[in-house]
């Protein structure tokens, strides 16, 4: 069966420090991968998605970047965190064989607090 791992669960970082969040998927190949951010009590904002190794689509211009160095690995990074980067970050995957997304499988999320 497929599983998605996202870590760490919580992270407290000072303003100006770097960030690296990692997400890996097991049990499937060539998944579509996603990073979302959720502000407290709000909906999800799509940050990045990837349909293949090295292929990254950015949805919102911001202080963050994403990379997909391996088929089932998706990394969210920042060189210098801002206060506004605080939030709940969620990684998700969907089957890559379909032409259209019909279901996303989410990780358990990372609560990032930038102080």
Question: Which region, judged by CB under 8 A, interacts with another protein, from 11-19, 21-29, 33-41, 75-83?
Answer: 33-41
Is residue 61 involved in binding another protein (CB under 8 A)? no
Count the residues of the shown chain that bind another protein, applying the rule CB under 8 A.
Answer: 29
State which of residues 28, 36, 47, 85 lies at the interface with another protein (CB under 8 A).
36
Is residue 3 involved in binding another protein (CB under 8 A)? no
Helix (H) or strand (E) holding 66: strand 65-70
Q: How far apart are CA 8 and CA 77, in angstroms?
A: 13
Decide if 88 contacts 37 (C-beta within 8 A).
yes
Is residue 54 involved in binding another protein (CB under 8 A)? no
Question: In 53-68, which positions are buried (b, 16+ CB within 10 angstroms) versus exposed (e)?
Answer: eeebeeeeeeebebbb
Which residues contact another protein (rule: CB under 8 A)? 6, 32, 34, 36, 41-46, 49, 51, 59, 88, 90, 92, 94, 99-109, 111
């Amino acid at each position: 069966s497929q599983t998605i791992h996202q870590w760490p669960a919580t992270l407290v970082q000072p303003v100006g420090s770097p960030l690296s969040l990692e997400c890996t998927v097991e049990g499937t190949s060539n998944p579509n991968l996603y990073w979302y951010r959720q502000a407290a009590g709000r909906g999800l904002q799509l940050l990045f998605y990837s349909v293949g190794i090295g292929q990254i689509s950015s949805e919102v211009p911001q202080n963050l970047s994403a990379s997909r160095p391996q088929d089932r690995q998706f990394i969210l990074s920042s060189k210098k965190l801002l206060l506004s980067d605080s939030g709940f970050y969620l990684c998700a995957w969907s089957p890559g064989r379909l032409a259209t997304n019909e279901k996303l499988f989410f990780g358990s999320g990372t609560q990032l607090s930038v102080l």
